[in-house]
Structure 1
């Protein structure tokens, strides 16, 4: 299934697409795949996190998960193996979320080839301004990977016009000028921001950073084509709560009929 097909199927079913996040190696090797099995039935696309020692765009919940995965001895090759395991379970689009340093440490061509072979559809690169290294972006796309970059409420018209064309997967719209983390309510102005983005690209737009419950999911569905849920899932696991309960609540909030 392609990325566009996944978003289109969710739209045809009368809802915004749900994009859950899982981290390779968290909470441990093997247990990470069990988390995947819990979230896959509710996912339209799946975001797979590559553990990194300095995740500047992530809040404390994902930082803790990343540190725990790294203590398990997870390396880039282990993440590729994890992706292969996920791909054996589903044909849904898989997006690898990675900071740029692991890409450069492995070597871009080798890194992109490794994850394309493993079954990744695309990459989310939160700390790479794509216009700063269009050659590297071209290498990823040349390897057959879609690319996704972040835009935020602070993004100017010029910035949107620059970044959006590099988003061949979807546009990741950050709900706040801050880091990842579950929130009770998203800021106002998201529909206007998404509207500005849509004027310059036909790529689907997904909102992340703060989706945690029915209310925030409804806000995302009012504005965008999809919603990413990350910290809320990891926090639920930390607290011993079931992931399915969280996913059901968020999925219900994404139904178009529930728009307010």
Structure 2
């Protein structure tokens, strides 16, 4: 009988934004299932710390500083991936930033660009530069982390919603283009998850406690999500268990969008 660890044995995965939150949880899950990991993040020290823990636990992992807005960073990280592990099978485009709760009529263009350049351009660049490496391996899996706010609106989050909605349709377009290459491309749409990003946003809000209570109440399951719950979905999409899925939106939101 196969063990969970064998599901991704021999596979190489690159996870962006892997220093914390969903990225870190996804890297740990993929490593536990046998994949060799490249952990990238703007926070180089954080990514390195997670990679060291994975290696200490018997896994294969390296880390790199990575600004997903920069094509040259993508070229460098992919070169490191191929140099160390021989290729790439799985790309998890996870790096992102939260909305800053600015009303649309007060939103400045530089604020808009800051969010969209990371959340959307970063995903485009990831696929643009990692695509050839995946094709060279005879196929693979791309998992783009979107959001429920790529499916429904939210006040004060115009740039964030636009960026995550863009990720959803970018995913579908790539899935159609790359199906003949045996590269599957799917998006994951988490509800509000207790990550450092969400916690910091709530802490910076003058009514953070009240906002948290409202967010919890908006999820029919009566709580926020956990990063590990999203990581489980990432591992599923990375594995052959999802071999007939491409262009799909995997919603993990405690019932938020069912209402």
Q: TM-score, normalised by structure 2?
A: 0.35
Q: Is the radius of gyration larger for structure 1 or structure 2?
A: 2
